[in-house]
Chain A
Amino acid sequence: MPVNLPLSRPDFIEVENFSFHYGEKRAIFDISMKIPENQVTALIGPSGCGKSTLLRNINRMNDLIEGVRHEGDIRIGGTSLYDPSVEVISLRKRVGMVFQKYNPFAKSIYENVIFSLRVAGRSKRSLLDETVERALKSAALWDEVKDRLHDSAFGLSGGQQQRLCIARAIANQPEILLMDEPCAALDPLATLKIEELITRLKSQYTIVIVTHNMEQATRCSDRTAFLYMGKLAEYGETVQIFENPSNPETEAYITGRFS
């Protein structure tokens, strides 16, 4: 029986004494955590506690904002993201991202999925066709759209558009998939579909997901990190965090005593 456990590194993503500043404002205070490979790690915490900031540093999306500054380090598979030899573009090819508000491009479904291949300069027809089918199947969207691949992506429902964004993010086979509240703009049924999808995808991808939905965190994550005011308040197995939180703030948050 093929087991992928030996391949699963427990410290695939290492965050080490990481702090982050937006100009004068410090959003993250000295966070250290290890995120294991091929598992789902959920980031939870009240609004403004720095979940998105931490997530967006894993593919250096925050570099684009002017006046930002960081301390400490983030490593993927042992390589520092801030190593001068690391190119942001090739990093982002290894780390896919799905956003809170589904944001397909004003293109056909087909072109949306293969966008990452197009910008990488890959244009072999057979490869593109294969990729579209594989990615859409992984994103559980293939059966719904296979007859209208060349229609505009905007013709899809919200849930379908978000799954299309997931397909787009995994089309170029990244190792890591970052999801920033992927279900925030979706109805419960679409949310359920995405959750199923996440559970299926974790055998192939290391998934880090930000969520505000406690049930979602319990349903689909293996590990949970609770962030509070820019600090890592608690981090561990999801079961342990939700059933036996050691931090009083964590307990208050997950039992809904504050939002």
Chain B
Amino acid sequence: MQSGSPKTKTPFATTGRSRKGEPWIWLTAAGLALGVAMALGLFLLILFKGAASFWPGRIDLMEVSIDGKTELIAGYVTQETERRDGARKVHEEIQVFRGNKDLNGEAFKYIDRANILKSTRPESILLVERLEFGPAIVNGVAVETPQGRIEVGKHGFSDALKTMLQQGADSRVRLLKIERKKIGAISRELEALGRAKRSQSVASNIAADRRKVLQRDFDRLQAEAAEIRAETAKSKFVGVAADGREIVVQSGSLLGFFESNRAGFFGRVGEMRHRIWKFLKDDPREANTEGGVFPAIFGTVIMTLVMSLFVTPFGVIAAIYLREYASQGLFVRIVRICVNNLAGVPSIVFGVFGLAFFVYFVGGYVDQTLFSDKLPTPTYGTPGIFWASLTLALLTLPVVIVATEEALSAVPRGVREAALACGASKWQAIQRIVLPASLPGILTGVILAMARGAGEVAPLMLVGVVKLAPSLPIDDIAPYIHPERKFMHLGFHIYDLGFQSPDAEAAKPIVYATALLLIVVVVTLNLTAILIRNRLKKRFAVSSF
């Protein structure tokens, strides 16, 4: 019976009181949605811009009237903007990439749409990739080889072009081998001889003889290289730019062609794949604005792995002591607070510390004890990938410690007691039972540390990252692993291209592409770690959670 209430109510109707607080649910949901939208937007922007920078567009040939004269300009439209002039009149302006930096000085040109008289897309226009001055946009004219000149359209032109491309690629490989490996080896030996002479560990006449032999080899190799260069200079491609000027590319610097306006959809997809592949595997060229980013990928991955290699054992050991052995008193509480605060220290501070402690102090000491013959040239007493990894290991240490502590304390007490009741010592219980059970949690910490470390740039600038590293930290020159070398890093590469580049406009697409790549690299590293973790989770699944 409804007790005396005038209105009949269903017994379990939601009343105003019990509904209180529901708006807050919406608020939290809205907060989440906003966060997700922002993250997604960021990612999509980078994905779109990064991918778009590889997509080959169509080349427009435009007749433009500039200051009363008519000029022919060929290029891609890269941006469209609106601009108001002093009279508040709206101008539609386009940014055109017309290449040919050797002729024009600037690769980009801004054109008012109103000034374009005529625009066509002739199929014959070529995009020529070359070693210097960035791409060229030309109409083919002829191929010149020692056997003679073949005009475009004549029989054998495309075959000759193909042969020339192949020859150019071969000669580049040969030059690289001579200059980087053979001459490099000689200069390293010369250097060692010089040191030996100074420390008088080699008799001076023997040293002088050896030096003579080396010098002769050196001269011979140089002559060989010069010969190859002269050979490649004999074959060239001749093209003509839209404004009629001639562009000649020697076979040695000819990288490839693409007929942007003739290629169909699949041809363009193929070209895109080809560009992505080159971006991933090539060395950078021309102040990093051309070519690929392979050394930066390599440096990022190696640095992150070495960092994880250091931070994991140290973090885990520290956490084991903190959680399992130290008596949980005031002191441990203070240490824990300090560790947590360490995570909040600005990363550049770690860079300063790394430079002062690792590089100058530890590195200087290592140099004095192990590499004193090379001084005053520092070996380890200068920024390098090893010190950078250590600095980042220090930076990410709190992440691993905190995660490991959590994981350790999540191991059910019953399992520990069972181990102890079986006659295990405390260490045996930790090592055989507790650690395996907390491994997934520990790995989660390592994953977070990797994510944090791989994206960090500021401290690296002090302890080993450079704009252009001459050689990789791991290569085929003995002793194969060079932890003292400087390295390139994707994060720094982005900064360098975007803010330090002489041609910011030219670098823009590469900035997006590199940002996308950095995300991909970090995500890949993380996914690998997550995969390993899930494997372990299956193996060490704990019953009660």
Residues in chain A within 8 A of chain B (CB atoms): 59, 61, 64, 66, 89-90, 92-93, 96-97, 99, 101, 103-106, 115-116, 118-120, 152, 154, 161, 165, 168-169, 172
Most buried by A among B425, B541, B542, B543: B543
Q: In the complex the two chains form, what is the Cα distance from A250 to B465 in whole Å?
A: 78
Q: CA A92 – CA B541 in complex, angstroms?
A: 27
Taking a contact as CB atoms under 8 Å apart, the answer to whether B423 and A92 are in contact is yes
Instruction: Other than A106-B539, A152-B541, give 16 A-B pairs with Cβ distance below 8 A.
Output: A61-B420, A61-B421, A66-B328, A90-B423, A97-B418, A99-B414, A103-B412, A103-B414, A103-B544, A115-B424, A119-B424, A119-B432, A154-B543, A161-B543, A165-B418, A168-B422
- Are B422 and A101 in touch, CB under 8 angstroms? no
* Docked-complex contact B424 and A106, CB < 8 angstroms: no
B428 lies within 8 A of chain A by Cβ: yes
Residues of B within 8 A of A90 (CB): 423
Interface presence of B94 (CB below 8 A)? no
Contact among A61, A154, A161 with B417 in the assembled complex (CB-CB below 8 Å): A61
In Å, the complex CA distance between A222 and B522 comes to: 66
C-alpha spacing A162/B418, complex, angstroms: 12
State the 3 A-B residue pairs at the shortest beta-carbon distance, nearest first.
A97-B421, A103-B414, A116-B422
* Minimal beta-carbon separation of A23 from chain B (angstroms): 14
The 8 Å CB contact of A105, one of B328, B415, B423, B544, is: B415
Jot down 6 A-B pairs with beta carbons below 8 A, ordered by A: A105-B418, A106-B437, A116-B422, A154-B541, A168-B418, A169-B422
Inter-chain CA distance A115–B422, complex, in Å, is 7
Which chain B residues lie closer than 8 Å to A104 at the CB level? 418, 543
B423 touches A116 (CB 8 A): yes
Inter-subunit contact A92/B421 (CB<8 Å): yes
Closest to A119 in B: B424
Provide the bound-state CA to CA distance between A39 and B539, in Å: 40
Within B103-132, the residues touching A (CB, 8 Å) are: none
Contact indicator B421/A105 (Cβ below 8 Å): no
Is residue B169 within 8 Å, beta carbon to beta carbon, of the partner chain?
Answer: no
* CB-CB under 8 A for A92 and B420, given A106-B437, A106-B541: yes
A158 to chain B: closest residue by CB = B543
How far, in whole Å, are A61 and B328 apart by their CA atoms in the complex? 19
Closest partner residue, chain A, to B431 (CB atom): A119
Q: Is B540 in the interface zone, CB < 8 Å from A?
A: yes
| Given known A103-B412, A104-B543, A106-B437, contact A96–B432 (CB-CB < 8 A) | no
Q: How far is the CA of A119 from the CA of B437 in the complex (A)?
A: 17
Whole-angstrom distance between the Cβ of A98 and the nearest chain B Cβ:
9
Q: Which residue of B lies closest to A91 (CB)?
A: B423
Alpha-carbon distance between A103 and B418 when the two chains are bound, in angstroms: 7
Q: How far is the CA of A105 from the CA of B411 in the complex (A)?
A: 11
One digit per residue, 1 when the CB lies within 8 angstroms of any chain A CB and 0 when it does not, for chain B 333-367 equals 00000000000000000000000000000000000
Contact B542 A106 (CB under 8 A): yes
> Which B residue's beta carbon lies closest to that of A120?
B423
Chain A neighbourhood of B432, CB < 8 A:
115, 118-119
Q: Knowing A61-B417, A106-B436, A119-B428, say if A101 contacts B423 (CB, 8 Å).
A: no
Chain B residues near A165 (CB, 8 Å)?
418
User: What residue of chain A has the Cβ atom nearest to residue B439's Cβ?
Assistant: A106
Measured CA separation A169–B417 after assembly (Å): 12
- Nearest-CB distance from B102 to chain A (Å)? 67
B residues 383-420 touching A (CB-CB < 8 Å)? 412, 414-415, 417-420
Q: How far is the CA of A253 from the CA of B436 in the complex (A)?
A: 44
Inter-chain CA distance A152–B437, complex, in Å, is 14
What B residues does A66 contact at CB under 8 A? 327-328
Q: Which residues of B contact A168 (CB under 8 A)?
A: 418, 422
User: What B residues does A119 contact at CB under 8 A?
Assistant: 419, 422-425, 428, 432
Give A101 to B437 CA distance when docked, in angstroms: 17
Chain B residue at minimal CB-CB distance from A95: B421
Measured CA separation A89–B423 after assembly (Å): 5
User: Which chain B residues (407-465) contact chain A, with CB distance < 8 Å?
Assistant: 412, 414-415, 417-425, 428, 432-433, 436-437
Task: Report the bound CA distance from A124 to B33 in whole Å.
Answer: 60
CB-defined contacts of B418 to chain A, threshold 8 Å: 97, 99, 103-105, 165, 168
Give, as a whole number of angstroms, the nearest-CB distance from A214 to chain B: 26
Residue pair A172, B423 in contact (C-beta under 8 Å): yes
**Which of chain A's residues have a CB closer than 8 A to the CB of B436?**
106
Residues of A within 8 A of B540 (CB): 106
**CB-defined contacts of B423 to chain A, threshold 8 Å:** 89-90, 92-93, 116, 119-120, 172
* A103-B412, A118-B432, A119-B432 known; A96+B543 contact, CB < 8 A: no
B422 and A172 contact, CB distance less than 8 A = yes
In whole angstroms, how far apart are the Cα atoms of A92 and B422 in the complex?
Answer: 6
Residues from chain A with Cβ under 8 Å of B542 in the complex: 106
| Interface residues as binary, B295-310 with A (CB distance below 8 Å gives 1, 0 otherwise) | 0000000000000000
* Chain A residues near B422 (CB-CB < 8 A): 92, 96, 115-116, 119, 168-169, 172
Expressed in whole angstroms, the Cα–Cα distance for A104 and B537 within the complex equals 16
| Nearest-CB residue, chain A, relative to B433 | A105
A7 to B428, CA, bound (A): 35
Most A CB contacts (10 A, CB to CB) among B412, B420, B437 go to: B420
Nearest chain B CB to A54's CB is how many angstroms away? 16
Chain B residue with the shortest CB-CB distance to A154: B543
**Considering the chains assembled together, what is the distance between the CA atoms of A101 and B412 in angstroms?**
11
Q: For residue A99, which residue of chain B has the nearest CB?
A: B414
Complex Cα spacing A119 to B433, Å: 11
Residues of the A chain whose Cβ atoms lie less than 8 Å from the Cβ of B417: 61, 64, 97, 99, 103
Interchain CA distance A168-B419 in the complex, whole Å: 10
Nearest chain B CB to A101's CB is how many angstroms away? 5
A120 neighbours in B (Cβ, 8 Å): 423
Please give, as numbers and ranges, the residues of chain B lying within 8 Å of A93 by CB-CB distance: 423
Q: What string of 1s and 0s marks CB contacts (under 8 Å) between B505-545 and chain A?
A: 00000000000000000000000000000000001111110
CB <8 Å contact, B544 and A101? yes
Q: Are B437 and A59 in contact (CB under 8 A)?
A: no
Q: Report Cα–Cα, A103/B420, bound state, in Å.
A: 12
Separation in Å of the B371 CB from the closest CB of chain A? 45
Q: Which of A59, A61, A97, A106 contacts B543 (CB 8 A)?
A: A106
Query: Which residues on A sit within 8 Å (CB–CB) of B419?
Result: 105, 115, 119
Q: Are B420 and A64 in contact (CB under 8 A)?
A: yes
A133 to chain B, nearest CB (A): 18
The minimal Cβ–Cβ distance linking B420 to chain A, given in whole angstroms, is: 7
Q: Who on chain B is nearest to A64 by CB? A: B420
Taking the closest CB of chain B, its distance from the CB of A97, in whole angstroms, is 4
Which of A61, A119, A154 is the most central at the interface, judged by chain B CB atoms within 10 Å of its CB? A119
CB distance from B411 to the nearest CB of A (A): 10
Instruction: Looking at the assembled complex, report how far the CB atom of B13 sits from the nearest CB atom of chain A, in whole angstroms.
Output: 39
State how many angstroms separate the Cβ of A109 from the closest Cβ of chain B. 13
Contact at B421–A59, with CB atoms within 8 Å? yes
Chain B residues in 8 Å Cβ range of A101: 414, 544
Bound CA span A93–B422, Å:
6
Give residues of chain B (276-332) contacting chain A, Cβ–Cβ below 8 Å: 327-328
Q: CB-nearest residue of chain B relative to A56?
A: B417
Contacts of A103 in B (CB 8 A): 412, 414-415, 417-418, 543-544
- Min CB distance, A136 to chain B, in Å? 16
